[in-house]
Amino acid sequence: MSRPGFVLEVDERTPSLLVNEGDGFRLERFPLGTRVVYPPDVLPGLRDVNGAIRRALFNPVGSDPLPTLLFPGMRLTIVFDDISIPLPQMQTPDIRQRIIEQVLELAAEAGVDDVELVAANALHRRMTPTELKRAVGERVYRAFFPDHLRNHDAEDPDRLVHLGHTNQGEDVEINRRAAESDLIVYVNVTLTAMSGGPKSVSVGLASYRSLRHHHNVHTLRHSRSFNDPPNSAMHHSYDRMADVLGEHVKIFTIETTLNNEAFPSHVGFMNKREWEWSLLDQASYLSFKRANDMTPPKLRREVWQRSYAPYGVTGVHAGDPAVVHPLTLANVHRQQLTEVDGPSDIGIWGLPFICPYNVNSIMNPILVMSLGLGYFFNLYRGQPIVRRGGVAIFYHPMPNAFHPVHHPSYIDFFDEVLAATTDPAAIEAKYEQQFATDPWYIHLYRNSYAYHGVHPFYMWYWGAHALEHVGDVIFVGANRKAAARMGFRSASTLADALEMASDTVGSSPRLTYLHAPPLTLADVR
Amino acid sequence: MTAALEYRRAPARYLTARGATSTRLGSRLSGVLASNVAPLRLVSRGRQPAPDGGWARLRPLLAGICGSDLGMLTGRSSPYLFPVVSMPFVPGHEIVAETLDETPDLPKGSRVVVDPVLACAARGVPACRWCEVGQHSRCDRVTTGRIAAGLQTGFCADTGGGWSRTMVAHATQLHPVPDRLDNERAVLVEPLACAIHSVRRVDIPPGASVLIVGAGTVGLLTLLALRELTPAGATYLVAKYGHQRARARELGATEVFDPARAPRAMRRATGGSLEHPVFGAEYLLGGVDFAFECSGSSSGLDAALRLVRAGGTVLLSGMPSGTVDLTPVWFRQLRLVGSYASDGGGAPQDGQPSDFATAVSLAGDAPLSGYVDAVYPLTRWREAIGHAIGAGRLGTVKVAFDPTRD
């Protein structure tokens, strides 16, 4: 039985606590009285994952068993989450591979010949052949790539179809092959509560025309948080779109959840509470940190990117997306949810080396912003861990570096747009269309491995709620120039950051540190 | 006797400076090299006699230090020019002076600016085909006639130059300065006339996009000329330093970019795609209609060639130096246009005032205050040259000598 999450109050006996800071980490001594939010212990993974998948396919919820939905002559499209999830990437065999192999076996038994596999990458960069192979496994890759295993192309008008509008007038436009299939089987990995459910198809296979209805400043500011679907305007929009989708195409979804086992055994201390570190853990911390600090930045990034997580699978549920997703969310909460008593004056987050958009790539300053003020700030239910007008403190070195192939529009967004304004609404009004329709960005999205031109805007909007909520944002250890360009301040140490924050919250603030690693969802009452 | 800065023939020093400044470290030490290695010295020499036939003695009041002067001192100027100079000479061709003799059109004591080109009229030879039509900047006879070879005042052994206390100039070179122009503005008339000449070298249609590479004196004055005299549309400028960006905006630049950001920014502004060669700088498929190279550096010309659209025009305004990959000229079928000096002393072309007349008029109204903010006496020439080489970094546009000061 895993121990539940809890909130530690720092006292004289509390050791220094682990804090992520990009592709590094540190032990930080927090002021007395700081609240530290820990998630539940790592849940045990399923012993027989393949068996669990088979049971889910044969005993789905809200749907007939998958074999009964398959018939000769049908068009079957298997859609799977792209490389943006899980984070870090999981050790092989990838859960997507396990599921797809079983679905394909059932399809073959049913005599289904017309099968296509599509990565639900929306406006993300295309997955490379190597990345596709890693996700679906060599056997599937060899059989289907390149003609029947491909990335979704949100800018190919011939491969998109407009299915209609929601009752709020939102366009629903998705991948034509999927929409015109007799059945979509969606293979999902849910790491945080924002993923899965109605989001899978309505976002993963959508076009900009459709995505702009929920990926915008207004919606993001009214998603409190986007990790709490009932209170997320973004998810309400997904739900409306899912209703339209449901009228046109049958979707059988398989959702999986993972535990918090995000690091291999040689850095096992990452997942332990600090006062429970053994001598071996302490030694491995010291040696790993020393080696990590001495490693040249490029090599260090490479090492971290190749650190594959030995996740355990905590649940596999299949069937009707609307019925499956609550079960998935319950599993996520079981692993991540910790109750917190009210917000504090200052919220503190340590940001890791990876986010959904820098897998095998570079974490540029805009992604750091999105990871901190978007993903981590929104790891809450109820209310944020920091009060309105409080201060958000993040740890990240924020190097002023961009991947020229993956993030070309990010470079222009950083140099041109953020030099003019950092106000999300002003940015949206003046620049979004320019970037979204820029032929060069579209060309690179379709033919190279670039994120869509509009993607950096979405990253900025991701932080719109936090920008509106907090009074000040300070990054510890960040490149000053990069932080200043985005309107943030940088501090050398936590003490400096607290000194800077005293202008906003006084000299005796209440502090809450959302401990990461591993992932924690704060249920703030 | 009179004091003058004299540039003498010293091939070893020229080659030493040229070799040193061609390296990255040497390039950074250009100021030190120019003021210590270049064969320039302060001398006392006999007063310059005025040749017969319309020549007058002048007392320079202010003489600018031009990029071409610095190119000569740092060894960057091309040996191509050697036949059209005569040594030793006194540099200085951006001159505002006072006449010491009477000329047919000007009384003694007039304040004048000097059109430095030493063309047929000054040389006392029959007008060549270019001088006949008022395009004396193209004069074929700059090595003949009654004075020594020299493409301009400031590069001729017989005329002296602005970096001295006295010099001589032909009456056709002199343009009276209206009272409303102070010396600091008047000394900008010659480079402004060159800028005007450069924008008149090409026919810019209404709304055409223009890029100016370089935001020193030439770049800024070219921007002024484009804005005042052409129907150009969006005009972009590449500038290294903050004060240059501010001045460019004041002169009406649409946008100003840092050199490192220029390719991406130009792609955003003009469309097209940005291509990344395995080696060398990136370039645009797309780009501006016209690019004015005003930096006089090979990197500036390289950037201009890479950022202009297919079939576009690159105009060389700064004196070129170094070598450049001309593949874009071939592949993108570009027009490469040169622009040297001005046609200020000749007959008006197509009914428009001469470049110099237009420059005199513009200099009075344009926001050029503070452009000449570093003035040195001849005796402090080493500091002046060092300052001029680092002008951009030091927040200065134009450094000048005041030969009347001790």
pLDDT of residue B370: 93
Mutate one of A406, A411, A440, A446 to test the B interface: name it (highest B CB count within 10 A). A440
Q: Which amino acid is at A242?
A: A
- Would you place residue B17 in the very low, low, confident or very high pLDDT band (cuts 50, 70, 90)? confident
- What residues in B contact A418, CB-CB < 8 Å? none
Q: Inspect the interface and report whether the beta carbons of B261 and A439 lie closer than 8 Å.
A: no
- Would you place residue B346 in the very low, low, confident or very high pLDDT band (cuts 50, 70, 90)? very low
Per-residue burial over A85-117, b if 16 or more Cβ lie within 10 Å, else e, is bbbbbbeebbbbbbbbbbbbebbeebebeebbb
pLDDT of residue A1: 66
| Nearest residue of A to residue B260, measured between CA atoms | A415
pLDDT of residue B47 exceeding 80:
no
| Nearest residue of A to residue B286, measured between CA atoms | A440
Overall average pLDDT of the B39-63 stretch: 88
| Nearest residue of A to residue B273, measured between CA atoms | A440
Overall average pLDDT of the B172-191 stretch: 96
pLDDT of residue B22: 75
pLDDT of residue B344: 59
| Cβ pair B113, B175 in contact under 8 A | yes
Overall average pLDDT of the A415-431 stretch: 97
Q: Inspect the interface and report whether the beta carbons of A415 and B273 lie closer than 8 Å.
A: no
User: What is the DSSP track for A171-199?
Assistant: EEEEEHHHHTSSEEEEEEEESSTTSSTTH
pLDDT digits (tens, 9 = 90+) for A267-298: 889 889 999 999 999 999 999 999 999 999 99
- What residues in A contact B274, CB-CB < 8 Å? 408, 440
- What residues in B contact A438, CB-CB < 8 Å? 268, 271
pLDDT of residue B23 exceeding 80:
no
Q: Which amino acid is at A47?
A: R
| Cβ pair A385, A378 in contact under 8 A | no
Mean pLDDT for all residues in chain B: 93
Q: Which amino acid is at A336?
A: Q
Q: Inspect the interface and report whether the beta carbons of A440 and B265 lie closer than 8 Å.
A: no
pLDDT of residue B324: 94
In A425-454, the residues whose Cβ lies within 8 Å of chain B are 438-440, 443
* Residues whose CB falls within 8 Å of the CB of residue B33, separated by 6 or more in sequence, listed in order: B17, B20, B21, B26, B74
pLDDT of residue B318: 86
Q: Inspect the interface and report whether the beta carbons of A404 and B264 lie closer than 8 Å.
A: no
R_g over Cα of chain A: 22
Does B88 sit behind a cis peptide bond, omega within 30 degrees of 0 on the bond before it?
A: yes
Cα–Cα separations (whole angstroms), residue A162 to A78, A121, A235, A436: 20, 18, 20, 19
Overall average pLDDT of the A442-465 stretch: 98
pLDDT digits (tens, 9 = 90+) for B297-319: 999 999 999 999 999 999 999 88
Q: Are strands A489-491 and A472-476 parallel, antiparallel or unpaired?
A: parallel
Q: Inspect the interface and report whether the beta carbons of A416 and B272 lie closer than 8 Å.
A: no
- What residues in B contact A440, CB-CB < 8 Å? 267, 271-274
Q: Does A404 touch chain B (CB under 8 A)?
A: yes
Q: Does B271 touch chain A (CB under 8 A)?
A: yes
Q: What is the largest CA-CA distance in chain B?
A: 64
Q: For chains A and B, count residue pairs whose Cβ atoms are closer than 8 Å.
A: 21
Six token digits for residue A229? 């679907």
What CA–CA distance (Å, rounded) separates A412 from B383? 41
Lowest mean pLDDT among A283-292, B42-51, B158-167: B42-51
- What residues in A contact B272, CB-CB < 8 Å? 440
Q: Inspect the interface and report whether the beta carbons of B264 and A439 lie closer than 8 Å.
A: no
- Which candidate from A415, A440, A443 shows the least CB-CB separation from B261? A415
Overall average pLDDT of the B82-98 stretch: 96
For residues B26 and B205, the model is more confident at: B205
Mutate one of B256, B264, B278 to test the A interface: name it (highest A CB count within 10 A). B264
pLDDT digits (tens, 9 = 90+) for A174-203: 999 999 999 999 999 999 999 999 999 999
- Would you place residue B31 in the very low, low, confident or very high pLDDT band (cuts 50, 70, 90)? confident
Decide: residue B216, CB within 10 A, 0-12 exposed, 13-18 middle, 19+ buried. buried
Helices (H), A126-259: 129-136, 138-144, 176-179, 199-204, 208-211, 217-221, 233-248
pLDDT of residue A266: 83
What CA–CA distance (Å, rounded) separates A143 from A149? 9
Give all domains of chain B, ordered by start, each with its CATH number. 2-188+371-401 (3.90.180.10), 191-338 (3.40.50.720)
End-to-end CA distance of chain A: 25
- Would you place residue B167 in the very low, low, confident or very high pLDDT band (cuts 50, 70, 90)? very high
pLDDT of residue A394: 98
| Cβ pair B262, B288 in contact under 8 A | no
pLDDT digits (tens, 9 = 90+) for A242-272: 999 999 999 999 999 999 999 888 888 988 9
pLDDT of residue A267: 86
What CA–CA distance (Å, rounded) separates A265 from A260? 13
Q: Which long-range contacts (CB under 8 A, 24 or more apart) does A444-447 make?
A: A444/A408, A445/A123, A445/A125, A445/A126, A445/A154, A445/A155, A446/A153, A446/A155, A446/A156
| Cβ pair A75, A264 in contact under 8 A | no
In B235-264, the residues whose Cβ lies within 8 Å of chain A are 261, 264
Overall average pLDDT of the A330-352 stretch: 97
Q: Inspect the interface and report whether the beta carbons of B264 and A440 lie closer than 8 Å.
A: no
pLDDT digits (tens, 9 = 90+) for A190-243: 999 999 999 999 999 999 999 999 999 999 999 999 999 999 999 999 999 999
Q: Inspect the interface and report whether the beta carbons of A440 and B274 lie closer than 8 Å.
A: yes
Q: What percent of chain B has pLDDT over 90?
A: 82
Mean pLDDT for all residues in chain A: 97
- What residues in A contact B273, CB-CB < 8 Å? 439-440, 443
What CA–CA distance (Å, rounded) separates A247 from A244? 5
| Nearest residue of B to residue A453, measured between CA atoms | B268
Q: Does A411 touch chain B (CB under 8 A)?
A: yes
What CA–CA distance (Å, rounded) separates B19 from B26? 8
For residues B344 and B340, the model is more confident at: B340
B364: helix, strand or coil:
helix
- What residues in A contact B264, CB-CB < 8 Å? 411-412, 415
Q: Does B265 touch chain A (CB under 8 A)?
A: yes
Distance from the B274 Cα atom to the nearest Cα atom in chain A, whole angstroms? 8
| Cβ pair A251, A201 in contact under 8 A | yes
What CA–CA distance (Å, rounded) separates A387 from A377? 12
In B102-131, the residues whose Cβ lies within 8 Å of chain A are none
Six token digits for residue A302? 């490479």
Overall average pLDDT of the B113-122 stretch: 96
Distance from the A509 Cα atom to the nearest Cα atom in chain B, whole angstroms? 40
pLDDT of residue A119: 98
- Which candidate from A404, A416, A443 shows the least CB-CB separation from B268? A416
